[in-house]
Amino acid sequence: MCGGGDYAINAALTEKRIKAVVSITGVNIGRLFREGFSNYDPIGALNAMASQRTKEARGGELQINELLPASLDAAKAHGLTERDVYEATDYYKTPRGQQPGGATKMLFSHAQKTLAWDAFAFTEVLLTLNRPGNPGD
């Protein structure tokens, strides 16, 4: 089961001992970073991350970004009504799913690898698990 960046889906592409994988709330985190979190300007985001890394290397302050609004009210106040953001906030920012060490923050300067990630790259070639409508042996 994968409820994160679809890492389990990606692992199933090359780990042939995996017999089944499902994603209920997974999101292609790379696409989300390239499109949503970068305001559809991934090159601009990469340039900003490079500048931030240079700043940090020179002793500057770390930029820690919150990946989700602090609450549903905060999401609404900022016009963030997209379903995935709303549901993730409803889960990770409420007692239902909130954890003391929960990972809802990220160093901005380290996000460049996430922009290049694609959970579904090469699925058409490497995925050999049964697919809906494609019964196996």
Tell me the average confidence (pLDDT) per consecutive run of 10 residues in the chain, 137 residues long: 71 91 80 82 95 98 92 90 82 86 87 90 86 56
Same domain, yes or no: 7 and 32: yes
**Phi-psi group of 65: left, alpha or beta (phi > 0 → left; psi -120 to 50 → alpha; rest → beta):** beta
Query: For position 49, what pLDDT does the model report?
Result: 96
Residue ranges making up the domain that contains 29: 1-61+113-130
Same domain, 97 and 122: no
- Number of domains, the chain: 2
Q: Is residue 21 part of a domain?
A: yes
Provide the 10 A C-beta neighbour count for residue 121. Answer: 14
Same domain, 40 and 7: yes
Are residues 49 and 86 part of one domain? no
pLDDT at 4: 67
pLDDT the model gives residue 137:
47
d(CA 111, CA 108): 5
For the chain, the farthest-separated pair of C-alpha atoms sits apart, in whole angstroms, at 59
What is residue 55's predicted lDDT score, i.e. its pLDDT?
Answer: 98
